[in-house]
Amino acid sequence: MTRAARHARSALLAALAASLPHLVACGAGADTGRDVVPASRDVVADTPAPAQGAQGYEYVARRPLAVVALAEARGIETVTARAAVDRLADRLDACITDEARKGGPVEGAARVVARVDASGAVAATQVRIDPGASSASNAVVCLVAPMKLLSFPPATADDRGIAIEAIWGRVVPPPNGP
């Protein structure tokens, strides 16, 4: 596995781990059933913090056998980019599930950067694939092809694009999962 692939895989796994809830019961507070917060003079701003996911990702879509993280969406509305990531995660998970049923190896990771043209079509992609035995074929069939089929609303901006990172196969189960 190349250094870039190890970094992509570890970044996605770290994103998963960081997004798990960190609930810790405190000694005395857990016995009484009440939380006690001391008085403070902290100032809370009315402006909400910018939305940002785990490990700097804008959004992370988790499925049983696939995780797709939105690294960047340029010139694309947040709701539209998140919907695209959800569609990709659904397609990737279904495809990897199908490959697993066939008995083939199904682990891998990839990063895909796509340029979106004015009509909303994916015009070009740049792909980095984990160099595992099955990663290339799974990445192309289960991730890159569905990404090329995405369609976004038309716009006049020339510099629109979306970047995602994905990992499939062995995926850390979501919180409260089996």
Query: Does the residue 144 lie in any domain?
Result: yes
Tokens of 173: 């189960």
Query: Does the residue 176 lie in any domain?
Result: no
Query: Does the residue 174 lie in any domain?
Result: no
Query: Does the residue 7 lie in any domain?
Result: yes
Q: List alpha helices for 25-170, DSSP H.
A: 27-32, 78-101, 135-139, 145-148
What's the number of domains the chain is made of? Answer: 1
Structural domain of 88: 3-13+56-168
Query: Does the residue 142 lie in any domain?
Result: yes
Rounded Cα gap, residues 168 and 92, in angstroms? 8
In this prediction, residue 133 carries a pLDDT of 58
Rounded Cα gap, residues 94 and 65, in angstroms? 8
Task: State pTM to two decimals.
Answer: 0.66
Q: Is the pLDDT of residue 129 over 70?
A: yes
Rounded Cα gap, residues 113 and 45, in angstroms? 35
| Among candidate residues 155, 167, 53, 165, the one with its CA nearest the CA of residue 109 | 167
Q: With bands split at pLDDT 50, 70 and 90, how would you rate the model's confidence at 110?
A: very high
Rounded Cα gap, residues 161 and 170, in angstroms? 28
